[in-house]
Amino acid sequence: MLIMGRIFFKSRIAEAADLAFARSFAGEGPRAQASAGLVFFWAGLLYGLQTLVYAAIEAGWLTVTPPYGLWLAIGPTLPFLGVIAYVAWRERKGKSGVATRALSASYTSAGLLNLVIAVTFGWLAISRQSTTIWLLYPIVICAMQGAVWYAAALIRRKLWLGVVSAGWFVTTLALTLLMTQVAAYLFCLGLALLALMAAPGYVMQRLSARERAPETLGIEKTVDSGADTDPQAAREALAFVKALVDRGEQVQISGGLLLLSGGLLYGLQCLLHGLDMSDRLRLGALGHLINGVLPTILFLIVVGVVVWRDRHKAPANAGSRAINAAFGGVGLANLFMNLVFGYAAFTQKLWLIWMLYPISLCALMGAGWYVAAVAKRKLWAALVCAGWFMTAVLLAWRVETPEYLLILSGALVLLMAVPGYLLMRFDAGQRA
């Protein structure tokens, strides 16, 4: 009896400890703020000040001699690499729940997209000797920052994160209008880096410190005082928290249907345009009109059906919210990039600028799938992410050739339609 009593007592304490751990695992989102906030603060501060100095030089207010010009170019990067190394070392043993993984992946995806866009746009700007293409690079990054902060706002459900997201999208439009006035362009970009990156980074650090203190105290009290030691109550609470985390693994069939239909419709559209450009098919004026309009009409019908069917669906959990937020951010960034590239191509009278739009969109899709891969921990999602980033590079390589549209067509089918079909099958299998 004594042994049984000890076992029962230990199980009650273990259940309380497990419950505290599970609660902290499900609610670890605030812990992602500290590291991300530190990185954002120093990135915004260093590169914001650097950009403002460049704006002063462009406006003729400041003159920098060659040795100091080199230090100005590389100076911010050296301490920033030190910050990244410090954060990586500090978080090397950290464990994370779905919210933390989603937030960290959202921020990391911005870095991946920055790398891909820098390589593709930089190469095109040098090979075409076009300053306009290089000026579009920060604009795309601002749109991506808007998408990232939008995802963070939905995951964390904080209004101030949504305000930062809106600020980045406003900056995207402002920079587009200022492309012909380089000094004003740089001045606006520098202020945005300080106000929308450095300042939010500082706020994130402060909020993280404030939220983690009571959380840690609450966990210690739960374990030490034996709270929630009723076995049945503990089991029910653990089941609830586990469901809160695990239900994120359920893939909504609606997203798969949209990806499948969008990939097939627009993949076929790009294929027909590509065959026409390569003289393998003649569409004619009417064919071009139908091919340009019909896929969008059909896709809007599918969207309408999905929205109507899901109008009574319960709110998404943490995992589903993370994925929806990531691709919702991609959709918003896509809308703003439509305006950016359309306006720039029209004002510059350069068709090449419009062809940069699908390249940016592929990089954005790669960023979205990166969040999905990290949040869901699925290898196939990581492969889709890598495929989108590779597509962006291939499109930059074959820009202004018939192969450009054929590559884009293949990517839409293989990296959008096929994953959409897989999402639908996985969802059907889990529901069965």
Report how far residue 403's alpha carbon sits from residue 59's, in angstroms, rounded to the nearest whole number. Answer: 42
Residues 186 and 157: beta-carbon distance below 8 Å = no
Please, are residues 162 and 109 in contact by the beta-carbon 8 Å criterion? no
76 shares a domain with 181: yes
Q: Which residues have a Cβ under 8 Å from the Cβ of 401 and sit 6 or more positions away?
A: none
| Residue that finishes a domain, picked among 215, 241, 269 | 215
Residues 122 and 32 in one domain: yes
- Decide if 133 is inside a domain: yes
Assign 104 a pLDDT band (cuts: 50, 70, 90). low
CB 420 within 8 A of CB 259: yes
Quick one: pLDDT at residue 385? 92
- Statement to judge: residues 202 and 310 lie in one domain: no
At 56 the pLDDT is 95
**pLDDT higher than 50, residue 382:** yes
Predicted confidence (pLDDT) per residue in 22-59, tens digit: 343 334 445 556 778 888 899 999 999 999 999 999 99
Nearest CA to 170 among 200, 191, 201, 155?
Answer: 191
Are residues 66 and 185 located together in one domain of the fold?
A: yes
The residues, any chain, with a CB within 8 Å of residue 22's CB and separated by 6 or more, are 238, 241, 242, 245
Q: What is the pLDDT of residues 224-258, one digit of tens each?
A: 444 444 555 545 544 544 443 444 444 455 678 88
For the stretch 158-184, pLDDT in tens is: 899 999 999 999 999 999 999 999 999
CA dihedral sign of residues 180, 181, 184, 187: positive
Asked whether residue 34 is domain-assigned, the answer is yes
Residues 93 and 187 in one domain: yes
Together in a domain, 269 and 320: yes
Q: What is the mean pLDDT of residues 206-217?
A: 69
Its domain, for residue 208, covers 26-215
> Are 199 and 260 in the same domain?
no
Is residue 88 domain-shared with residue 159, that is, in the same domain?
yes
Q: Please return the burial class of 21, using the count of CB atoms within 10 Å of its CB with bins 0-12, 13-18 and 19+.
A: middle
The number of distinct structural domains making up the chain is 2
Q: Distance between CA atoms of 323 and 3, rounded to whole angstroms?
A: 48
Cβ(140)–Cβ(361) under 8 Å? Answer: no
Question: What are the φ and ψ backbone dihedral angles of 349, each rounded to 5 degrees?
Answer: 55, 45
Whether residue 270 is contained in a domain is answered as yes
Residue whose C-alpha is closest to residue 124's, from 397, 408, 429: 397
Across 209-213, 278-282, 364-368, least confident range: 209-213
* Residue 240 counted as domain residue: no
